Structure 1
């Protein structure tokens, strides 16, 4: 049966990012009351104000600023949601980050931060949200993991580690919380055409994720919604791609021989994506090289402003 969004309180972290907003734009007109949580509070507020408000929502949408790596801020977030809504019907753990720096060149502090943002923060938020989820008649948790939680990405081992960990944690939590009536699922997308992926491309980041053209954020959003229509532990926006990678991972010792082939195809895919971005006007040539058209450094790469990254 199709999930009924009418009057549901749906909290989305990384809510002002591309995937978060793609999901919000889909569910707001269906009657959900959306709470967008993002480290960029003002952007979260503007994004929430831009959403359609359905009569069955019972009020407008809310944008809240919160650094999910700060325990006090997370506790304050939960307290505010409890005061204003009394419950959470769906918690969407969608915030994440990555770095284009190679492992041997990264600072220990950047490693610790990425693990905190991608792994520890969603687990802490999920734990603190359980009382509000239990106030719902049909509580759900959805997490954005990644195919990087199935297949190791050589250029981004910390991202891979965090997503391997998040996938395993959410599988375990799903089995555990089922006894409390809370249904848990994860979506595992491959490369998605987000602002962060565009930044990775111009910085010549992880080419392995460009085996195929990046998918639109709306496709990932629809995969999230499918978990509400048909609850299950995992969903894959590109099922064929996921089957291939999962098959390869039954024989991990073949990876040293296979990765050069994958990387060559990925390099070609990244070059095609760069040409597409230039044609669309999403990137511009500067004296220092390619840059995002907005002229801003991407928040996930080098500053504490995480949003969604598949």
Structure 2
């Protein structure tokens, strides 16, 4: 099967980010009309205006604000009348350790990563039902399978989103809406670069981060052949799923992998330095 993008309306959240940018350019080139949703309105507008074709639109919305989400859905209905594909791609991560961060930041991370895609999907159901073959794709993470000890709130949100999308996919399949998730490992996006600069989760850097295009390719494969989940790096998914069969051994496994991860993180930072994305400041790093 090969998905026909021509005339399809595709909405994507986190639309000004790296993964979204890799996907929307390809989808537009194949004839889709894109709704670029991002909290940063000017950045979303820049993405929309740079796409091949016409009819693309940008929407500024804070997806943790239900009033704004309802207004967004109303705007999408006014402008398009339906959604053929909704891609829940927005996500955030904090490198603050659990015993140090404030409660407000915990709530925000859960709201962005878990609640906002569920609420937007629920409110968009009428627009999806107006399409002939409606699809929902959510960007989860291998952190939705494997516990990332240094970022437990991110892990909690992604564990929750993975479980919710599996259940929603089962529930909505009989109602004509196909739901899928993509579970990438570390991806070279601004969020990961920030994590590396701040000394983030060492488990993310066991292997060199994949380019955003790899995740975009996985999304397109889901449209070509729908299924509940897909992994851009399938071999990594086998490793983490095997490891979680023995949860009581995870502390020991973490110690074994942490050294390799720290070395991988430093190699990634040197790569970013060579590309001009980061620079050394004293004993640390900062984004340029």
TM-score normalised according to structure 1 size: 0.92
Structure 2 partner of 1:187: 182
Shift, 1:250, TM fit: 1.1
RMSD: 0.9
Which sections of structure 1, spanning at least 5 residues, go unmatched? 54-58, 294-310
Shift, 1:290, TM fit: 1.9
Shift, 1:253, TM fit: 1.1
Aligned-partner SS, 2:153: helix
How far, CA to CA, are the matches of 2:238 and 2:10 in structure 1? 30
Structure 2 partner of 1:40: 40
Shift, 1:285, TM fit: 2.8
How far, CA to CA, are the matches of 1:173 and 1:244 in structure 2? 26
How far, CA to CA, are the matches of 1:286 and 1:164 in structure 2? 35
Deviations 1:134-190 (A, max 9, x none): 000000000000000000000000000000000000000000001110000000000
Structure 2 partner of 1:174: 169
Shift, 1:287, TM fit: 5.9
Structure 1 partner of 2:157: 162
1:109-124 pair list within 5 angstroms: 109-124=104-119
1:230-309 pair list within 5 angstroms: 230-286=225-281, 289-293=284-288
Deviations 1:110-157 (A, max 9, x none): 001100000011000000000000000000000000000000000000
How far, CA to CA, are the matches of 2:279 and 2:265 in structure 1? 16
How far, CA to CA, are the matches of 2:282 and 2:64 in structure 1? 36
How far, CA to CA, are the matches of 1:283 and 1:224 in structure 2? 29
How far, CA to CA, are the matches of 1:162 and 1:218 in structure 2? 24
Shift, 1:197, TM fit: 0.6
How far, CA to CA, are the matches of 2:124 and 2:11 in structure 1? 10
Shift, 1:286, TM fit: 3.9
Structure 2 partner of 1:224: 219
TM-score normalised according to structure 2 size: 0.98
Aligned-partner SS, 1:34: strand
Shift, 1:60, TM fit: 2.2
Structure 2 partner of 1:130: 125
Residue from 190, 196, 217 that aligns with 1:201: 196
Determine if the alignment matches structure 1 residue 90 to structure 2 residue 85: yes
Determine if the alignment matches structure 1 residue 66 to structure 2 residue 61: yes
Structure 2 partner of 1:300: none
Shift, 1:262, TM fit: 1.1
- Highest relative contact order (Cα 8 Å, sep 6+), 1 or 2? 1
Aligned-partner SS, 2:59: strand
Deviations 1:19-70 (A, max 9, x none): 01111011110000000100001110111101111xxxxx421111000000
Aligned-partner SS, 1:24: helix
How far, CA to CA, are the matches of 2:281 and 2:126 in structure 1? 51
Structure 2 partner of 1:141: 136
Which sections of structure 2, spanning at least 5 residues, go unmatched? none
Shift, 1:292, TM fit: 1.2
